[in-house]
Amino acid sequence: MFEQVLAEVEQQCREERVPMLGPDKAKLLASTVEKAKPSLIVECGTAIGYSGLWMLRVLKTLGSGRLITVEINPDSAKQARENFEKAGVAELVDSRIGDAAEILKTIQEPVDFLFLDNNKDGYYTCFKAIEPQLTNPAMIVADNIGRADQMAAYLDHVRSNYESESHWFERRGRRRTDGGEETNRGPRRRGGGEGNRGPWRRDGMEVSIFRR
């Protein structure tokens, strides 16, 4: 059932142009969670739960760990909750609605994994909001670093203070006005022009190890 729900959510994201990580980046995220074996993941930007499902599948396999995921759009958050229920992982996830920068300030537990995938200009504010709760060390993954101009304060901070690595991917799609990105449309083919699927873009994820 889990795999079917994940496939349906991916399909819905493609059809309805809901922004999502896409399978290539999701694999990197999942393998980072697998290595970190976190007790508590905080995700900023749930959308309809695609990336959440990838992380929850790892937590379920590990047999430990929980996810708090934050989404500002109530309709998206509702769909995500339904998807977590359908996939049988709802007991591992606490889905909250609101501005991530505000919600993160209310989390009182130690956080050993942070995934940033919300409004890009909010990454540094979200990081500062949760910093007091971050364990030493803690893993931080940030999506969409191709838009470095929108998250300059965040990237400058992690790259100059912590062990931090950029992982690059090529993806196809147009940028959206709401800060998201259209869905990943699969691998690049030779001779493929822009067509109606948008130009090729280089985008990536920054994986950083926070230490005090």
Ligand X SMILES: C[S@@+](CC[C@H](N)C(=O)[O-])C[C@H]1O[C@@H](n2cnc3c(N)ncnc32)[C@H](O)[C@@H]1O
Contacting residues toward ligand X, per CB under 6 A: 19-21, 44-45, 47, 50-51, 70-73, 76, 99-100, 117-119, 122, 179-180
Of 119 and 133, which CB lies nearer to ligand X in the complex structure? Answer: 119
Of 19 and 65, which CB lies nearer to ligand X in the complex structure? Answer: 19
Of 30 and 138, which CB lies nearer to ligand X in the complex structure? Answer: 30
Least Cβ distance, residue 90 to ligand X (angstroms): 16
Least Cβ distance, residue 193 to ligand X (angstroms): 26
In this structure, the strands spanning 66-71 and 93-97 are parallel
Quote the tokens at residue 209: 């190890």
Least Cβ distance, residue 190 to ligand X (angstroms): 28
Specify whether the CB–CB gap between 205 and 165 falls below 8 A: no
The set of residues, in sequence order, having a beta carbon less than 8 Å from that of 119 and lying 6+ positions away, is 45, 179
Of 26 and 40, which CB lies nearer to ligand X in the complex structure? Answer: 26
Please tell me the distance from the alpha carbon of residue 171 to that of residue 158, in angstroms, as a whole number: 24
Of 51 and 133, which CB lies nearer to ligand X in the complex structure? Answer: 51
Least Cβ distance, residue 146 to ligand X (angstroms): 13
Specify whether the CB–CB gap between 206 and 165 falls below 8 A: yes
Least Cβ distance, residue 9 to ligand X (angstroms): 8
Please tell me the distance from the alpha carbon of residue 203 to that of residue 9, in angstroms, as a whole number: 22
Phi first, then psi: what are they for 132, rounded to 5°?
Answer: -60, -25
